[in-house]
Amino acid sequence: MSIKKQFLKSKPACKVSFKLSKSQVNNASKVFLTGDFNDWSESTLQMNQLKDGSFSQTIELETGKDYEFRYVADDTVWFNDEEADGYKSSGHGEAQNGVLSL
């Protein structure tokens, strides 16, 4: 798993790139990035599948905030990114959300 942050000089925003390897998604056919930045939609931010079977997505977010997020593979398997800046209770049992601090 990989998270890369590119802070923009022209405005208070950051381009955040997320990348998951084929093995990290257990050979899933589709993966979505979901979080409070898209109202936890499980269908709006589909990650792009690359030729090697990995998945990637880049989004632009406002700086000065913390964002909670998770991944959803094949519409059923929810998981976190081990490179998240932190973790916070999701409010659903013992599940946690990854936290991205910008």
pLDDT at 1 exceeding the cut of 80: no
pLDDT at 73 exceeding the cut of 90: yes
CA dist 79 and 87 (Å) reads 12
pLDDT band of residue 93 (cuts 50, 70, 90) is: confident
How many domains are contained in the chain?
Answer: 1
pLDDT at 94 exceeding the cut of 90: no
Domain with residue 90: its CATH number is: 2.60.40.10
pLDDT at 80 exceeding the cut of 80: yes
- Residue 44's Cβ-count burial label (10 Å; 0-12, 13-18, 19+) is exposed
pLDDT in tens, 15-71: 999 999 988 898 899 999 999 999 999 999 999 999 999 999 999 999 999 999 999
pLDDT at 92 exceeding the cut of 90: no
Domain with 18 in it: 2-101
pLDDT value for 31? 97
pLDDT at 72 exceeding the cut of 80: yes
pLDDT value for 69? 98
